[in-house]
Amino acid sequence: MSSSFRKRTPTNQSKLPPATKINPHNAQLLISTGVPSLDDLLGGGLPVGGVFLIEEDRRTGYSNTLLSYYSSQAIAAGHKLCIVNADRDIDLATQIPGWASVSRGQSATVLPQSGSKNALAGDEAMKIAWRYKNLPKVDTNEAYDDRGALAGGSRTEETPFCERFDLSVRVPRDVIESADVEIIDSESLADMMASGTTHTSDMYKCILDRISALIADGYSSLKPLPPGVERNILRIELCSLGSGFWQGDSDTSILQFLHALRGLLRYSYAACVVSFPAHLYEESGVRLPIVRRVEHLCDAVIELESFEGAYASPADIVARQAKGDNNTKQEYHGFVHIRKLPRLNSLTASTGRLSLLNTGGGSANNMAFRLRRKKFSIETYHLPIEGGVSERRVPSKPDEPKTQTHKLGAGASGGCGSIPGSKNSLDF
C-alpha cells in the first residue's frame, strides 16, 4: 500500500532584482539610498514603489550630497537611473562619489588595522561623555548588511545591498557612460515642452509623461517580463522640485504631480527621491500650508537643518567657502528631523523594530549629520564635553609659567578669600 504523503518540492520562485532585499516586517522590497545610516532610519532601506522627500537645507548643499550618494548607488547596483534637474547642469563624473570597495578597484580608502582601530576607539571614547559611548552606530567600513537581513530578510548575493563610497574619489567616466542613465536637464525640459502638443506650459505634466513611459518599458509590476529577462529597478531622482525653475499651470501643479507619481510607482519596480526647497515656501518665517500637503503626498520625509545655513549670513558662508574652510573639525554640521516614516504594506513603520539609531521614545528625533572628507553619516546627537576637547584638563607642573588667570589675582582683589595666599586686607 503506497503512502498518501508526498515530499514537498520547492517551487520556482522569482529572483530578486540586484542589490535588493525583503523587509521581514512587511515583505516590502527595499533598495539602498547609498548612506547606511539613512537606510537604518528608514527601516532598512527605501521601499520600492515609494516616494522619499528630502527637505533641503537653507543656503548649503548637504541635500545634494545625499542625492549624489543615491545616484552613485544606482550605478554601482546596475539599476536604471533617471535624473531630472531644472536648476543646473549635471555632470556625474564630477558630482557623485566613487566606490571605496576593494572589489571596485579603488585604493583611495585604506581600511584600518586592528591596532589602529582600538586606538581610534580609545580616542573617540575620550572625546564624548561616558553615557554616550555605548550608543549604537552603523558600521560603514564593510559592505552594508543591516538588521533587516540578519532578522530574516533575504537579499541578492551577487551585488551588495549598499556599496561603500568615498567622497574624495570619483566614478570613472567610462563606467558612467556604460551605465543606464537618463539625464533630463533644463535644455531637455525646454525641448520636451516645445515638442509636446498638450503640455506646452506645464513642466510637471511633461515629466510625469516621461516617467510613465519609463515604467511601462519593463518596470511595471502589472506586466510580466519575457522568459529569460531578469527584473531590474528604476531609480528616479527629482532635484529641487517646486523651485523657481519649475513651471506649472497652477499653484497646485506640484500637488497633482506628486499624487499622480505615487499612483504610478505603487504598481512598479521603481523608487523616487525628491529634494524639496521648503524654505522657499515661507512667509515671515512661517511655512505655508502647501508644505504640509507636499509631505502628506510622500511616503517618507526628512528635513536637513544645517547649522551653517540657519545661523550664518550668506556673505559669511561665501567668505568661508572662498577660504576653503569646510568646517571639518566640527562635531556635527546640522540636525536631521524625521517628519514621516514609510508605512507601505503596513499600518505602522518598521523603523522601531529594525533600526539601530531610531528606536523610538523621547530621542526619536535626536539625530544629527556630519560631513567628513570621505563620507556623510547620520548619528545620534550628543552634546560635546564642557570646554571642548582642546582644553587642558591636567594640573600644570611647578616649573611651568602660571596662566593668565593666576596673574590677575596678584595685584587686584578678586573677592572675599577668592585668592589663596593673598595679603589683601579685604580677603578673610
Name the DSSP letter for residue 387: T
Q: At what angle do helices 289-296 and 253-266 cross, to 10 degrees?
A: 10
pLDDT of residue 416: 55
Question: pLDDT for 159-210, tens place per residue?
Answer: 889 999 999 999 999 999 999 999 998 888 888 878 765 666 788 999 999 9
Please write the tens of the pLDDT for every residue from 77-86: 999 999 999 8
- Closest listed residue to residue 340, CA positions, set 377, 291, 270: 291
Q: What percent of the chain has pLDDT over 70?
A: 64
Dump pLDDT digits (tens) for 88-115: 888 899 999 998 864 455 443 333 434 4
Task: Say what the pTM is.
Answer: 0.76
Q: Is the pLDDT of residue 275 over 70?
A: yes
Indicate the DSSP class of residue 397. P
Long-range contacts of 382-389 (CB under 8 A, 24+ apart): 382/128, 382/129, 382/132, 382/135, 383/129, 384/127, 384/128, 384/331, 385/127, 385/128, 385/129, 389/126, 389/127
Q: Is there a contact between 203 and 80 (Cβ–Cβ < 8 Å)? A: no
